[in-house]
């Protein structure tokens, strides 16, 4: 089978150069201004941690050092924040969106999302991480391996429709035959992990590996959880060294493999920062350059290490190219991808 999605995304993850490009003179564009960052997720989750990390450091790389103020706007897998940014936010570069991957891929995977905004028309600044997601259960759960998940019912917590946790649990059920019983409606990963600790649920899927390490490092250190499987286009070396299998051997149908590849391609947009359509060219140039400088900045990387978050960045130009290409996926692959993420 031709891995058309995997080829696009893996190529994109070989970063375009983060050297400093030359732009026109716009040194005073942000003088005296404040930048608002709309975070399409709850406070305290992985998306919030990354967004606030970027917001702390990026002003140092913008002439005039405008403060970047994060404002959480959770709901519908970042679709609410995406719709606000798309239709109502200023186009002068004073409003940035920090959106979940589901908001970028929603138009492909969900008919209802197509009326809110067109992700291909956002202007991409960059992504801070292109991560791997995992399925986990508590150590005392009956389901301790992925083979167990294929054999027996496992109660898994999930967010609302459009969130990664719900979508990925459904994906596993449809593409591999896992027997996850999905209990949806939780706000975010903070609530989902609390539900696991309380014994309301056994586990969850669609948890970013980097978020797990930053939010619950003791769970990994103390072996409080079982890591059942890793969901990524290519294996994550750290997880592979721990003996965690990838999803691919468990998918037998060729069309399903292509559909899963399409869904997992959203992970390239793991921590994406975007501007509204028609954003001022000066602002785009300034912010792309500032973001590129931020993700290689020693102080930023040290702060990321303290927060236990990984940085696997990619440029806005590269994201712009990839989002256009994945939104032109073959119809039969798109149809199957939509089917496998529905509970």
* Model pLDDT, residue 109: 79
Annotation: CATH topology of 133-261: D-Maltodextrin-Binding Protein; domain 2 (3.40.190)
* Model pLDDT, residue 21: 41
Q: Which CATH number fits domain 4-130+266-340: 3.30.360.10, 3.40.190.150, 3.90.1150.10, 2.60.40.350?
A: 3.40.190.150
3-state SS track over the chain? CCCHHHHHHHHHHCCCCCCCCCCCCCCCCCCCCCEEEEECCCCCCHHHHHHHHHHHHHHHHCCCCCCEEEEECCCHHHHHHHHHHHHHCCCCCCEEEEECHHHHHHHHHCHHHHHCCCHHHCEEEEECCCCCEEEEEECCCCCCCHHHHHHCCEEEECCCCCCHHHHHHHHHHHHHCCCEEEECCCCCHHHHHHHHHHCCCCEEEEEEHHHHHHHCHHHHHCCCEEEEEEECCCCCHHHHHCCCCECHHHCCCHHHHHHHHHHHHHHHHCCEEEECCCCCHHHHHHHHHHHHHHCCCHHHHHHHHHCCCCCCCEEHHHHHHHHHHHCCCCHHHHHHHHHHCCC
* Model pLDDT, residue 20: 42
Question: Domain map of the chain by residue range?
Answer: 4-130+266-340, 133-261
Q: For residue range 175-203, list pLDDT tens digits in order.
A: 999 999 999 999 888 899 999 999 999 99
On the question of a common fold for 4-130+266-340 and 133-261, the answer reads: yes
Given a cut of 50, the residues of the chain with pLDDT beneath it are 1-2, 12-17, 19-25
Question: Does the pTM exceed 0.75?
Answer: no
């Amino acid at each position: 089978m031709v891995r058309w999605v995997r080829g696009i995304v893996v190529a994109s993850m070989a970063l375009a150069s983060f050297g400093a490009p030359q732009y026109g003179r716009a040194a005073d564009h942000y003088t005296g201004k404040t930048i608002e960052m709309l975070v399409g997720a709850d406070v305290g989750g992985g998306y919030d941690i990354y967004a606030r990390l970027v917001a702390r450091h990026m002003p140092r790389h913008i002439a005039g050092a405008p403060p970047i103020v994060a404002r959480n706007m959770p709901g519908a897998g970042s679709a609410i924040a995406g719709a606000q940014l798309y239709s109502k936010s200023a186009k002068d570069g004073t409003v940035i969106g920090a959106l979940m991957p589901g908001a970028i891929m929603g138009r492909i995977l969900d008919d209802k999302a197509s009326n809110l905004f067109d992700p291909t028309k956002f202007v991409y600044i960059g992504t801070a991480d292109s991560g791997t997601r995992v399925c986990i259960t508590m150590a005392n759960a009956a389901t301790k391996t992925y083979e167990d998940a294929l054999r027996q019912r496992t109660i898994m917590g999930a967010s609302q429709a459009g969130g990664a946790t719900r979508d990925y649990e459904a994906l596993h059920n449809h593409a591999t035959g896992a027997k996850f019983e999905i209990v949806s409606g939780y706000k975010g990963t903070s609530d989902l992990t609390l539900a696991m600790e309380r014994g309301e649920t056994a586990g969850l899927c669609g948890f970013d590996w980097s978020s797990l390490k930053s939010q619950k490092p003791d769970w990994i250190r103390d072996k409080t959880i079982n890591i059942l499987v890793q969901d990524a286009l290519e294996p994550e070396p750290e997880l592979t060294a721990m003996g965690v299998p990838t999803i691919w051997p468990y998918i037998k149908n060729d069309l399903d493999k292509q559909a899963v590849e399409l869904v997992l391609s959203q992970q390239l947009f793991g921590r994406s920062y975007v501007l509204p359509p028609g954003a001022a060219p000066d602002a785009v140039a300034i912010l792309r350059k500032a973001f590129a400088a931020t993700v290689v900045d020693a102080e930023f990387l040290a702060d990321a290490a303290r927060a236990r978050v990984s940085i696997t960045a990619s440029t806005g130009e590269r994201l712009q190219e990839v989002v256009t290409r994945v939104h032109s996926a073959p119809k039969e692959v798109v149809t199957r991808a939509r089917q496998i993420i529905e509970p």
